[in-house]
Amino acid sequence: MRVIDAIQKKRDAGALSPEEIQFIIDGFTADEIPTYQMAALLMAIFLNGMNDEELAPWTHAMLHSGLVMDWSELGVPTADKHSTGGVGDKISLPLAPAVAACGVAVPMVSGRALGHTGGTLDKLESIPGFNVGVSLERAREMIADIGVVLMGQTAEVAPADKRIYALRDAIGTVESIPLIASSIMSKKLAEGVDALVLDVKVGSGAFMKTRENATLLAQTLTGIGRRMGCATVAYLTRMDRPLGRMVGNALEVRESIDILRGEGPDDVRELTVTLGAEMLVQAKVATDLETARKQIEGQLDNGKALACFQKLVVAQGGDGRVVEDLDILPKASYQKDVLATREGFVGEINAEHIGRSSMSLGAGRAKAEDDIDPAVGLEVLKTVGDSVSVGEPLVRLHYNDETRVPRAEEWILGAYSVHDTAPDKTELIIERI
Amino acid sequence: MRVIDAIQKKRDAGALSPEEIQFIIDGFTADEIPTYQMAALLMAIFLNGMNDEELAPWTHAMLHSGLVMDWSELGVPTADKHSTGGVGDKISLPLAPAVAACGVAVPMVSGRALGHTGGTLDKLESIPGFNVGVSLERAREMIADIGVVLMGQTAEVAPADKRIYALRDAIGTVESIPLIASSIMSKKLAEGVDALVLDVKVGSGAFMKTRENATLLAQTLTGIGRRMGCATVAYLTRMDRPLGRMVGNALEVRESIDILRGEGPDDVRELTVTLGAEMLVQAKVATDLETARKQIEGQLDNGKALACFQKLVVAQGGDGRVVEDLDILPKASYQKDVLATREGFVGEINAEHIGRSSMSLGAGRAKAEDDIDPAVGLEVLKTVGDSVSVGEPLVRLHYNDETRVPRAEEWILGAYSVHDTAPDKTELIIERI
């Protein structure tokens, strides 16, 4: 088998065979295929795509380049959720313990903040003592004991994906639906779960700006999952405004604990319940979504999800008192409100700009090696549809470094559109795929 | 300026700016741009093309990565011809001295045989003593003295093209019209000639199998030449059968000398006269093609072209007696005729198969490092339109190694199609572009 034949096949819009795909992924991971050949192939894939028959073996080869977890001996159903990333998206924090409290184990591997979107690991680390560096052995113990773990990716998981992603980043082939989908699925399927629910974000704050692209990504992701024997469902959900009211690490932990107390903003609760219910159905512990929703709602309202979260925090070295006393979370030294400059109704809030505002205060990262400040961020005081008058606060900034405020304010003022009439209502959840 | 921005622009079918192109070619040649980024860009160019506004600066940057010759101080018009390569295409040998005899200097840089097509340098080297490794200083002396030099490419010419070609070969992006055209033109324009005539071959023995692709290549080549201030004309010519009767190095020198004596096959003479006349017109020493044809024909018939060829041979260290005594050329020890197996008219002769037959006797190279045997090759005894009876010779093989004969015979029998009726006549020269 020769790499050049595979490159030419894909260049001419042909489909690679499973054997060719295995040969390429194995060869590239083992340093036997030169980077320039892989670069040419990735560009050809970017431009000519991959079909479902190619995507399953491509993902399979990436997945099996590393360790694949296996929970079968524990005898419990397992499920996970993956979000394509948004602003204020803290759903994993209330969701994982709520689902675990319903009897479905959640061995969730999460990522860090990059660009304008936050990362679950950074949010968790704002809890004093919380450790996301969990070994696979410890993860197994936690799943057996409390049914949930929220951990970072270990080096053993999908090393082929790490190498391919780094190359894609250097050669401008990141924004390719088949390459994005296979990258996500190779990491998520390495968790070895029975069921996977995907939250594909659409809109100004999402990676996919159009419904068309988001639908295609959702179909590609579920196609791979189902072909590879994992019960997979995707939801298209709106990211044309921040999710919830809090953006920033410790601030989002506060809002997550509100949700686990049966409180918090409606949109965050609704998404937690919808995705959680789907996980229960796909993991076959509930027969229909309506029953499943009641189960999740019940665990949020009866305190069991919160108790499970507390166990999780303690098991990962964190201060468990956080669930009763939010004041042990880091707090920014200063606050400043950004005020409306015209009267009317909030029509849109560009979620990416809100994310960049929070990032500019120090809550996010421009580069992977940047430090973050867990305390800073912002509170959305006026959301889409709210009426505002001149001088009323739109957003409250929480900051430690005064010099960062002007840039953050600019992003906020650029994010809000205020109109004379109220906007039409839109649904958070667009479609189930 | 960032390479990744240029890659993404081309990936999205945009046009690169002259500054971006200069930055990329210079950076890649200077080892400052990694090979994998260039590989991705080349694949994007393969799939999304380059327009005329990009091709001129792309070629310009490759050309100026090395030395560009300049003949202006000699005060003579200069011209060259380039062929995209065919079987039995020995036109450069009679053409260059015939044009030089008409007062247009020809500083011709040629290539070697590769695959089923022959190379001018290998043909010349079958003349005892002939040296194609001419320094630029010596080339200048020869142009001043006799108006012609037939030399190999020196390392100083278009080093960017050498690097890019090697990469294209490794990543399956050779067959791209803009990349082929810029590669050819960067080398040919480095000769610094006033006029360039291109012979774009079409058909079974050519790189371009269809008229459509050959036309596109011819238009691209002339577009680059004209934008870069070189008077450039292309001819589409048929390569659906071998050119002339002789295929193989010393055999083709014999046929070339026949042409220089005013003899030889009609098709070889016709192409020599057509391309030579165009060179005279483009170099502005003749006002119209008809007058120019008479000039070339005159020099072939009055012995001056032959005399010029003799001077060239002597100036490059070869045995000048070759023009009077063909027997000083190497001769194969054995001959064998391949016989017709059915009666009728020769309908087609697949030129690539004829080339592969000659190559299998040792006249060509499968890999750049293979040795060639200057003496071996074949004579086409029956050409398209000829009537044949069973047992009549089609082709005479000239060989030194008996074990290579069966393979060569197989290629010949596969190359000929014999039909009950005579084929329609076709013209050698299809179109002037």
DSSP letter string, B391-403: T-EEEEEEES-GG
The nearest alpha carbon in chain B to A42 belongs to: B40
Give Cα A322 to chain centroid, integer Å. Answer: 23
Q: Is B11 on the interface with A (CB under 8 A)?
A: yes
Catalytic residue among A82, A112, A201, A293: A82
Output phi, psi for B248, to 5 deg. 130, 155
Q: Is A227 on the interface with B (CB under 8 A)?
A: no
Helix (H), strand (E) at residue B430 = strand B429-432
Quick check: B126 and B330 in contact, CB under 8 A? Answer: yes
Residue type, B69: M
Residue type, A149: V
Catalytic residue among A83, A183, A186, A360: A183
Range A406-430 average pLDDT: 95
Quick check: B348 and B419 in contact, CB under 8 A? Answer: no
pLDDT band at A374 (very low <50, low <70, confident <90, very high): very high
Distance from CA of B413 to the nearest CA of A (A): 30
Q: Note whether A40 contacts B7, CB cutoff 8 Å.
A: no
For residue A425, give the DSSP letter. P
Q: Give me the tens of pLDDT residue by residue for chain B, a chain 433 residues long.
A: 899 999 999 999 999 999 999 999 999 999 999 999 999 999 999 999 999 999 999 999 999 999 999 999 999 999 999 999 899 999 999 999 999 999 999 999 998 887 788 899 999 999 999 999 999 999 999 999 999 999 998 888 899 999 999 999 999 999 999 999 999 999 999 999 999 999 999 998 888 989 999 999 999 999 999 999 999 999 999 999 999 999 999 999 999 999 999 999 999 999 999 999 999 999 999 999 999 999 999 999 999 999 999 999 999 999 999 999 999 999 999 999 999 999 999 999 999 999 999 999 999 988 878 889 999 999 999 999 999 999 999 999 999 999 999 999 999 999 999 999 999 999 999 999 9
Look up the pTM and report it.
0.87
Quick check: A96 and A78 in contact, CB under 8 A? Answer: no
Residue type, A319: D
What is the SS3 string spanning A195-264?
EEEEEEEECCCCCECCHHHHHHHHHHHHHHHHHCCCEEEEEEEECCCCCCCEECHHHHHHHHHHHHCCCC
A325 has catalytic annotation: no
B48 C-beta neighbours (distance < 10 Å), count: 16
Strand B344-349: give its sheet, edge to edge.
B387-388, B344-349, B416-419
Q: How high is the ipTM of this complex? A: 0.85
- CA A290/CA A277 separation, integer angstroms: 8
Range A133-152 average pLDDT: 95
Buried b (16+ CB within 10 A) or exposed e, B113-142: bbebbbbbbbbbbbbbebebebeeeebbeb
Please tell me which of the candidates A11, A35, A172 has its beta carbon nearest to residue B7. Answer: A172
- CA A101/CA A95 separation, integer angstroms: 10
Q: Is B13 on the interface with A (CB under 8 A)?
A: no
Q: Which of B383, B364, B401 is nearest to B251 (CA)?
A: B364
Query: What is the model's pLDDT at position A204?
Result: 87
DSSP code string of B189-227: HTT--SEEEEEEEESTTSSB-SHHHHHHHHHHHHHHHHH
Tokens of B374: 């200057």
- As a whole number, the mean pLDDT across chain A is 95
Query: What is the model's pLDDT at position A303?
Result: 97
A65 has catalytic annotation: no
A82 has catalytic annotation: yes
Residue type, A27: G
Query: What is the model's pLDDT at position A112?
Result: 86
What's the helix, strand, coil split of chain A in %, to 5? 50, 15, 35
- CA B63/CA A278 separation, integer angstroms: 62
pLDDT band at A315 (very low <50, low <70, confident <90, very high): very high
Q: Which of A360, A372, A366 is nearest to A397 (CA)?
A: A360
- CA A329/CA A256 separation, integer angstroms: 13
B344-349 and B387-388 beta bridge pairing: antiparallel
Quick check: A121 and A110 in contact, CB under 8 A? Answer: yes
* Integer Rg of chain B from CA: 22
* Integer Rg of chain A from CA: 22
Residue type, A343: E
The nearest alpha carbon in chain A to B40 belongs to: A40
Angle formed by the axes of helices A159-171 and B35-48, nearest 10°:
70
Query: What is the model's pLDDT at position B250?
Result: 98
pLDDT tens digits, one per residue of A61-106: 999 999 999 999 989 999 999 999 899 999 999 999 999 999 999 9
Q: Is B422 exposed, middle or buried (0-12, 13-18, 19+ CB in 10 A)?
A: middle
Distance from CA of B265 to the nearest CA of A (A): 40
A387-388 and A344-349 beta bridge pairing: antiparallel
A381 C-beta neighbours (distance < 10 Å), count: 16
A 43-72 residues with CB below 8 A of B?
43-44, 46-48
Please tell me which of the candidates A8, A34, A42 has its beta carbon nearest to residue B40. Answer: A42
pLDDT tens digits, one per residue of A278-297: 999 999 999 999 999 999 99
Query: What is the model's pLDDT at position B205?
Result: 86
- CA B276/CA B253 separation, integer angstroms: 18
**Residue A205 reports pLDDT greater than 90:** no
Please tell me which of the candidates A34, A48, A171 has its beta carbon nearest to residue B40. Answer: A171
DSSP code string of A271-330: HHHHHHHHHHHHTTS-SSHHHHHHHHHHHHHSSHHHHHHHHHHHHTT--GGGGT-GGGS-
- CA A318/CA A310 separation, integer angstroms: 9
Q: Which of A196, A276, A279, A278 is nearest to A232 (CA)?
A: A196
**Residue A114 reports pLDDT greater than 80:** no
How close are the terminal C-alpha atoms of chain B, in Å?
38
B398 C-beta neighbours (distance < 10 Å), count: 24
**Residue A325 reports pLDDT greater than 80:** yes
Per CB-CB distance under 8 Å, the chain A contacts of B163 are none
- CA B293/CA B275 separation, integer angstroms: 9
The nearest alpha carbon in chain B to A43 belongs to: B40
pLDDT tens digits, one per residue of A153-191: 888 889 999 999 999 999 999 999 999 999 999 999 999
The nearest alpha carbon in chain B to A34 belongs to: B36
Q: Is A34 on the interface with B (CB under 8 A)?
A: yes
Q: Note whether A43 contacts B48, CB cutoff 8 Å.
A: no
Output phi, psi for A210, to 5 deg. -115, 150
Q: Note whether A40 contacts B42, CB cutoff 8 Å.
A: yes
